[in-house]
Chains A and B, each alone.
Chain A
């Protein structure tokens, strides 16, 4: 152990002297591994933080000196005081708990006589702690499915159950009134409200039976957690579209539902706001004490895929794909890439003469090219650049639901 600490300390010090900008991450890792107390660890984290935000070279140099000093003091401890590390065994897969199913449908169908639209035979389930992305073009049944899931619309056929919610009900019975107490739904059009953001959140908790100090604490938590602090005293007309959505999320989450269904939340948000909201939802779904299952529909495929555990792709009222996001396209026969360029299809085909590919198609918004499996992203990009094809955008969609739209 002693040698290990001292060898690593010498290496971290050498790297800090040679290339401090790259070595500071290793310095933090060293401190997290070997600091003998929290004081040393906290000092290391703050030194790295200050280094990251420092712009003056002399200040950075001084911080590196302090890091070197801290490495020295960590490794200088007498052997008896050096931290003892016990390698933790990886958890046994056989004891990992199976996901708790919050909602499950079997053969759900719904026909609208007037329009003739038919939602057909939907078998899906939603588990605690997981996010499920529902994608598909408009008018393919996403909203209809959501309205059935939250009890706003009855299906014509099939069954729907809420095992995780029903387990707490007398005789585990199916009681819509009680089940709906655990479901939050945010529709595409967020209804207007009256009063301030804060007052509405207090009210929302009160109608769920949470009063007094607990009510105040939960409102404070959700306001600060969702970045609404500057807007907490504003009314509907004073909030932008992005903050109206944040408020809708706050109102839905403040009473800790077990099932959150959100229809097209990203439609009017810029990319930064989309990422913040999706990351917040990812964190909140994974809560240890108050986990929930989240279902989101969106046309923003890549953003949704990045945070979703599962993906449902719907077309003409049917589920075309339903499975783990990371298993999408695993057993494909080809690679598919999308790109944008000012060049015509004929010009692209001319410039790619000699490249092995199956097909190029102009979708009107971008080009889609499919290639044999051995053609990688980097190889194809290099080929494009060598052929003088100026691209505005290039993405591998082989393992994206985008491929299902093509």
Chain B
């Protein structure tokens, strides 16, 4: 991947977009935008593999999933975007 210089504000705006999608229970879109976020801002490919694994888990039925299964996945998604964001700081 190419290394690009990214204004901090752009990362924060994209991060907030995903956080708000999660808060509004739009998990499929949140998973898609997480993949885009990682593709745009991660320095290597490892976070993308995590994003795809999470996306796969969400598409296996996040809307019908019990909170005890869903919440840990959501926390992992939020931690992933924080990690990518921090590595760009």
Contact = CB atoms under 8 A, between A and B. Distances in A.
A11 B56 CA distance: 39
Interface in A279-325: 280, 283-284, 287-290
Given A28-B23, A53-B25, A289-B2, 15 more contacts: A32-B16, A41-B19, A41-B78, A44-B23, A45-B22, A45-B23, A220-B48, A221-B35, A221-B39, A221-B52, A229-B56, A280-B32, A283-B36, A288-B6, A289-B4
Q: Tell me what chain B mostly uses at the interface: helix, strand, loop, or mixed.
A: helix
Interface of A: 25, 28, 32, 38, 41-42, 44-46, 48-50, 52-53, 88, 91, 213-214, 217, 220-221, 224-225, 227, 229, 280, 283-284, 287-290
A88 B40 contact: no
A229 B55 CA distance: 10
Nearest to B1: A289
A388 B45 CA distance: 62
Task: Say whether chain A's binding surface is mostly helix, strand, loop, or mixed.
Answer: helix
B35 A46 contact: no
B39 A289 contact: yes
Contact of B24 (A42, A50, A52, A290): A52
B36 A49 contact: no
B11 to A, nearest CB: 9
A70 B77 CA distance: 21
A288 B78 contact: no
A213 B45 contact: yes
Contacts of B6: 288
Given A45-B23, A288-B4, A225 B36 contact: yes
Contacts of B41: 288-289
Contact of A50 (B2, B36, B71): B71
Contacts of B40: 287-290
B76 to A, nearest CB: 10
Nearest to B11: A288
B45 to A, nearest CB: 5
11 contacts: A38-B82, A41-B78, A46-B71, A49-B70, A52-B24, A88-B9, A91-B9, A220-B52, A221-B48, A289-B41, A290-B40
A335 to B, nearest CB: 34
A283 B67 CA distance: 29
Nearest to B46: A217
A49 B19 contact: no
A290 B39 contact: yes
B44 to A, nearest CB: 10
